[in-house]
Amino acid sequence: MIDIKLIRENGDLVKENIKKKFQDEKLPLVDEVKELDEKARTLQTEGDNLKALKNQLSKSIGALMRDGKKEDAEDVKTEIAEMDKRIKEIDEEFPEIQKQIREKMLVIPQMMDESVPIGKDDSENVEVEKFGDPVVPSYEIPYHADIILKLKGMDKEAAGRTSGEGFYYLLGDIARLHEAMIAYARDFMIDHGFTYAIPPFMIHADVVTGVMSFPEMEAMMYKIEGEDLFLIGTSEHSMIGKFKDQIIKKEELPINMTSYSPCFRKEGGSHGLEERGLYRVHQFEKQEMIVICEPEESMDWYNKMWKLTVEIFRNWDIPVRQLECCSGDLADLKVKSCDIEAWSPRQQKYFEVASCSNLGDAQARRLGIRTKGDKGTYYLHTLNNTVVATPRGLIALIENNYQEDGSIKIPKVLQPYMGGKEKIEVK
């Protein structure tokens, strides 16, 4: 949510930002908010003036009665009664207008960083840099589900009976490898100065609307029936929500945390071959990182954060690239965002395994996350980035470490988490 002062003082700039995101249907919202804001401020001024005048007149009643001017006092009482009637109307109308303003402001996109490339959709995202050489071995790499099944590491059929499509059992060494990746990512982030956390896996609706847009919520979130609770789609939601309505002391900034959680997503629709494996599922596990910092530091943190994910995947012998999200692919709350994509030697292309986002003060405004400085109280900036999300990260590791004999080579950094095991072999 942007600062309403920007709409008051430079609505054309807000409209230009909307055009760059190819959301022209939202252009009328700027003028609608401006008109409602002017009406609200006029009402507030009228209400304040009436209350001040009422106080003055109320004080005069006693003096008029003492002077024997009973009729004049009654006239003043009548005038005050009319004022009370109008004040009541204003007190009822003002919050309704404020509500309308907020509803419209929640839909107006955040101002993008000037460096964001302009493009209509994800097909126009821009590759920035590659890390590691994308290798295609001389032997065939099977589909990841077939590799895992041969290693007796997955049972989707049983999960279908217990839970339905989009769920899975991981078994044996594959399940252990999955947890090794999460544990390594956790320790890696702790070693880089991030505080470890395990957050709540359910959050209230006001936290959901504070961290994401309504269309995203509808597409992703599972609602708990009969409760004001949603299952989280990522631990960023509850981690940022932790600081709701807080004024954070400047000496505590920046706040940088890494969190583990299961994640739950609707992931609607059919996806062909990928539906049979682990690429699109309703439940997965994730190590996340979030930062809350001073506004002038957020872009530096953004670049630090995505590079940490790159380093982890390279430590697992997985080639990756950074892909800059263009304006049309940028979610409405984001100032700037990039994806980290892993190389798939089977498909001979890259696929998304992580996403890093600078949300500016959008979430902080929605949730009331502030600090106090020499110039008063102001909103902080929030950022989030995937450390690793499985099973997508697991798919990338399996494909890039698959051996011709059907075994999986375990990267050296993960071997301590696997009891010293160097490979997972076909039994």
Q: Dump pLDDT digits (tens) for 190-206.
A: 999 999 999 999 999 99
**What tokens were used for 17?**
């930002």
Which pLDDT belongs to residue 66? 83
Give the separation between CA 280 and CA 269, rounded to whole angstroms: 10
Q: In what order do the strands lie in the sheet with 376-379?
A: 247-248, 370-373, 376-379
Counting residues of the chain whose pLDDT is more than 90, the rounded percentage is 85
The whole-angstrom separation of Cα 92 and Cα 95 is 6
Identify the pLDDT of residue 215: 73
Q: Which pLDDT score, from 0 to 100, does residue 13 have?
A: 97
pLDDT band at 275 (very low <50, low <70, confident <90, very high): low
Q: What is the pLDDT of residues 73-96, one digit of tens each?
A: 888 899 999 999 999 999 999 999
Instruction: State the pLDDT at residue 310.
Output: 98
The CA distance from 40 to 26, in Å, is 21
Where exactly does CATH 1.10.287.40 map onto the chain?
4-105
Q: How far is 148 from 128, CA to CA, in rounded Å?
A: 32
Specify whether the CB–CB gap between 265 and 282 falls below 8 A. Answer: yes
Radius of gyration for the chain, computed over Cα atoms and rounded to the nearest angstrom: 28
Instruction: With H, G, I as helix, E, B as strand and everything else as coil, classify residue 56.
Output: helix
Q: What is the rounded distance in angstroms from the CA atom of residue 220 to the CA atom of residue 181?
A: 25
Q: How does pLDDT run across 10-30, given as a tens digit for each residue? A: 999 999 999 999 999 999 999
50, 140, 209, 281, 366 from 237: Cα distances, Å = 43, 40, 10, 19, 13
CATH architecture of 4-105: Orthogonal Bundle (1.10)
Question: What pLDDT score was predicted for residue 67?
Answer: 82
Q: Average pLDDT of 89-117? A: 95
Q: Is a pLDDT exceeding 70 seen at residue 272?
A: no
DSSP 256-273: EEEEEEEEE----S--GG
Average pLDDT of the residues of the chain:
94
Question: Which of 153-167, 282-296, 345-359 has the weakest average pLDDT?
Answer: 153-167
Which residue matches tokens 């004999």?
405
Residues near 197 by beta carbon (within 8 Å), at least 6 away in sequence: 239, 257, 258, 259, 260
**Alpha carbon distance 111, 85 (integer Å):** 42
In this structure, the strands spanning 126-131 and 222-223 are unpaired
CATH 3.30.930.10 boundaries in the chain: 122-424
Whole-number pLDDT of residue 268: 59
Mean of pLDDT values over 209-226: 86
390 to each of 200, 231, 256, 276, 277, how far by Cα in Å?
19, 18, 22, 16, 13
pTM of the model: 0.89
Q: Distance between CA 136 and CA 148 in Å, rounded? A: 20
Please report, to the nearest 10 degrees, the dihedral formed by the alpha carbons of residues 319, 322, 326, 329 taken in order: 60
Q: Inform me whether the pLDDT recorded for 269 exceeds 60.
A: no
Of 292, 372, 368, residue with least CA distance to 1: 368
Instruction: State the residue for tokens 């940088």.
Output: 256
Instruction: Please report, as a single letter, which amino acid is at residue 57.
Output: L
Mean pLDDT of 174-187: 98
Where does the pLDDT of residue 298 fall: very low under 50, low under 70, confident under 90, or very high at 90 and above? very high
- pLDDT at position 101, please? 96
AA letter at 382: T
Quote the tokens at residue 75. Answer: 């006239």
3-class SS at 394?
helix
Q: Would you state the structure tokens that stand for residue 35, as one six-digit string?
A: 């008109």
Which residue from 16, 30, 215, 5 is spatially nearest to 111, judged by alpha carbons?
A: 16
Residue 318 has pLDDT above 90, yes or no: yes
Give the CATH architecture of domain 122-424: 2-Layer Sandwich (3.30)
% the chain with pLDDT above 70: 98
pLDDT at 184 over 70: yes
**Structure token digits, residue 211:** 């961290």
Q: Are 194 and 308 a contacting pair, CB within 8 Å?
A: no
- Nearest C-alpha neighbor of 306 from the set 285, 326, 286, 321: 321
